[in-house]
A and B are shown apart, each in its own frame.
Chain A
Amino acid sequence: MSTITLASKRRRAALRTLAFMSPWLIGFAVFFAYPLISTVYFSFMHYDGFRPPSWSGTKNWTYVFNDYPYFWPALRNTLWLVLVMVSLRVVFGLGVGMLITKIRTGTGVFRTLFYLPYLAPPVAATMAFAFLLNPGTGPVNAILDKIGIPAPGWFNDPTWSKPALTLLALWGVGDLMVIFMAALLDVPREQYEAAELDGASAWQRFRYVTLPNISPIVMFAVVTGVIQTMQYYTQPLIAGKVASGVIQGAGTQFEPGYPEKSTLTLPQLVYNLGFQRFDYGSACVVALVLFALSMVFTAFLMRRRGGLNLAGD
C-alpha cells in the first residue's frame, strides 16, 4: 500500500515537473525537434512540395555529394569564410574595442562611427560596397590607381570576391566592438597595475591579463560568428548579382555564385534546391550538412575554450 502511495506521489511529482516544463518542451518540440526530425525525414524522401513525399533512400545524399556541381565549391567557400572572416572580425573587433577604450577624447564619436555601419541593412550595405569597389567606376580603385597600386577586380574577380566580402564584414564590426568594449572595461585595473609592477610588457599584459579575463567573450564572439557565417546568404548573393550587372528579374535564371562560384555559400544552395528546383529532399541534405558543421565547430571551440582558460591560468 505504502509502495503504491509512494509511486503515486512520485508520478504526480513527475507530472507536475512536466507541467512546469511544458512551455519550454512545446517550444523545443515545435521550433527545434519538429524541424530537425522533418529535415532528416525529408532528406530521405523525394518531395517536390506538391505531391506527397515518397521514399528515395540515399538518392538525395548521393546526388548532393557526388552529382551536384555546386556543393563542394559552396562548402569550400563557407569554410574559407568561417576560418578567415570570423577570425579577422574577432581580431578587428577586439582591436577597435581596445583602441576606443584607450581614447581619452571623442570616445562617443568613435563609438558611433564604428557602430553605425552595423545598423545598415545588409542589402543596402552590400550594394553600396559593390558600387564602391566597382573595378571600373568605383572610387576605391580610382584612388588605388592614382597612388600606383594595382587595383583588384574585387567582386568581379574570383580571387578577390571573398576578401571583398571580408572587408564588408569588417566594416560592420560594430556589434563585436560593443561587447568587447564592455568586456575590456570589466577587467580589474589592479591586475594591470600588478603586472606593470612586475615589469610585464604591453604584449604580456594583453596575453596574461586581458585575454584570460575576456576569454568567455572571445568564445561567444567566435561561436556566434561561426553560426552566423554558416547562415551567410544575403551579402554574397547581392554582391554577386550587383557585380555581374544582371539584377535577377522574375523570369531570369539563378546564376550561382558569380564570379565562378566564388561567392556561393551553403545557404544559397538550400534556397536554390528547395525553392527554385523544388527538390526539398536535397535541400534538406545541405541543411543537415550545415547543422553538422555548426555542431562540429561549436564542440571544437568549446573544447578549445578550456585550453584558453588553462593557458590564462
Chain B
Amino acid sequence: MPEVMPKVIRKTAFALTASLALLTTACTGQSSSGANDDASKDTTINFWHAWSAPSETKAVKDLIAGFEKAHPNIHVNVVGNMTDDKMNQALRTGGDKAPDVISSFTTNNVGKFCSSNALIDLNPFFKKSGVDPATTFPKAMNEYTQYDGNRCTVPLLGDAYGLYYNKTAFEKAGITNPPKTWSEFEADAKKLTIPAGDGYKQLGFMPDYHGWETTTEHYFAQFSPTYFDTSGKSSLATDPAFKAGFTLQKKLVDELGGFQKLEKYRSKLGDEWGPKHPFHTGQVAMQLDGEWRLGMALDAKPKFDIGVAPLPVPDDQADQYGKGYITGTIAGIAATSKKQNAAWELVKYMTTDTDAVVGFSNAIHNVPSTLEALKSPKLKYDPRFKTFLDIAANPNSTTTPASINGGQYLVTIQQFGYDYESGKVTGLDAGLAGAAKQIDTDIAQAK
C-alpha cells in the first residue's frame, strides 16, 4: 500500500498542479476585437455609468432617449450605479453583458485605462467623424482624457472649482469684493476670523489640506504647476509653483491660528456632504469647492447671502485671475466590445452633440464639457453658476495629468502636504525632493 499510494497521489498532485498552473495563466489576458460592426444595422449596446440619485438616473434616461431617437437602429441597455471596481472587472472579462461604453466619475484611472488598452484609442474615431477634440473640448478637459498620446476617454460634463463666500460676513467685516490675489485672500481670511476661546466663532477660511476640498491639487491649480517633466519624472522638487503653493498655504495655516488649533476646530465641524457643512452653517466664511456646492448650500437654506468667485491667484499671476481646477466625468469604449462603431455613435452623441450636452448639464447641474455647450443660450443656471462656466472655459485653467498608476502621485503630494502643514516635516526642499523620488519609484513600479 505505501508503495502504490504515493505514486497515485504524486500523479494526481502533478495533474492538479499542472491544471492550476494552466488555469493561472489561462484566466488572464484580454480578448480584443476591432471596430468591424456596422453601426447602421439594428443592434443593442450596453452602457454602464456611475450616477445613482433618482434625478441623475432620470437625466441619463432622457439623454439616452434623445440618442435612440436620433439613432433608431441602436438600442442602449443602461446600467447605473456602477463603481470603477465593477467596471474594471467587466472591462477585463468582456462578454455579452459587459459594457460597450463606460462612464466613470474619476479621471484618475485614465492613465491605466489608456496604457493597458482596456479602453480603445478614440483618435481614429474622432478623425473619421471629422471632430477635432482640441477645438471641441476646453483645454484642461482635453488634457485629462488622454495619456501619452492615447485618447481613450472623452469628457462627459465637468467640474470646476472656485471660491464660495459669505456675503453677509464680508459686509460685517467691511470687505466689498471677493479677493483676487493671494495677498488679498490672506488679509480677508484674517479679517473674517473671529476667535472664541480655544476655537473660533467664525473662521475666515479652513486652509488645512483636510478641509474637505482644500486638497493640494485644487489649491495648486492657481499656481499652474507642471506635474511631470518631458521624461515623465515628477517636477515636484523642480517646479517653483509647488514650493510657492506649499509655502503660502503653510503661512495661511500659521496666521489663522496654527495647525493644531485649526484641526481641533475642524474636528468639530459637519461633514462635507451633509447640510451642516461649515460653510452652510456660517462657521467658515470662505470655502474652496466645486460647482455642485451652490445647489447644496442653497438647499441648506443658510442665513446669509452666498457669493461665488474664482479662487484667488498668486500675486505675480494676477493677470490670470479667473482660472481654476477642472476635472469631471469621462466616457470610453471597452476594448472587449464587439460593437465599437455603434458604441462610438453613442459616445459621440453624449459628448459632442451640443444640445445633448446642454440638456444633460441642465439636468445634472455639472459644467458642460464642450466649448459650444458652454456658450449655448439653452443653458439654464443660477447667475452665480456662470462663474464656473467661465472657469471651465478659461484657457489658463488646469487639471492634474493622467498617470500610469492612477492618482497615486496626488496621494503622495497630499501626504507630504499633511506632514508639512502639521510641522512634522520642516525642510520644504528636502521634503519635496523625497516626495518626488517616491512618485518616480511608484511610477517605475507600475510600468
Contact = CB atoms under 8 A, between A and B. Distances in A.
A279 B405 contact: yes
Contact of B106 (A69, A134, A250): A250
Contacts of A246: 210, 212, 271-272
Contacts of B265: 136
B16 A275 contact: no
B24 A136 contact: no
B411 to A, nearest CB: 5
Contacts of A34: 20, 23-24
Contact of B405 (A18, A67, A275, A278): A278
Contact of B267 (A11, A135, A255, A279): A135
A251 B107 CA distance: 7
A14 B327 contact: no
Contacts of A10: 1, 3-5
Interface in A240-265: 242-247, 249-256, 258, 260
Contacts of B50: 250
Interface in A63-122: 63, 67, 69
Contacts of A14: 1, 4-5, 8-9
Contact of B88 (A38, A49, A69, A244): A49
Contacts of B85: 275
B91 interface: yes
B406 interface: yes
By size class, the interface of chain B is 35 or more
Contacts of B414: 253, 255
Interface in A185-203: none
B108 A136 contact: no
Interface residues of A, number: 54
Contacts of B407: 253
B303 interface: no
B12 interface: yes
Nearest to A136: B268
A23 interface: no
B251 interface: no
Given A33-B16, A156-B267, A246-B272, A251 B411 contact: no
B183 interface: no
Q: Which 3 A-B pairs have the closest CB atoms?
A: A136-B268, A250-B105, A50-B116
Given A135-B264, A136-B265, A245-B266, 18 more contacts: A10-B4, A14-B1, A14-B9, A29-B20, A47-B28, A50-B30, A50-B118, A51-B116, A67-B445, A134-B268, A245-B267, A245-B269, A246-B212, A246-B272, A254-B411, A260-B418, A278-B116, A282-B445
Interface of B: 1, 3-5, 8-9, 12, 16-17, 20-21, 23-25, 28-30, 50, 83-85, 88, 91-92, 104-108, 112, 116-118, 210, 212, 215, 263-273, 327, 405-408, 410-411, 414-415, 418, 424, 438, 441-442, 445-446
12 contacts: A10-B4, A34-B23, A38-B20, A49-B92, A52-B28, A245-B212, A246-B212, A249-B273, A252-B106, A253-B108, A253-B215, A256-B411
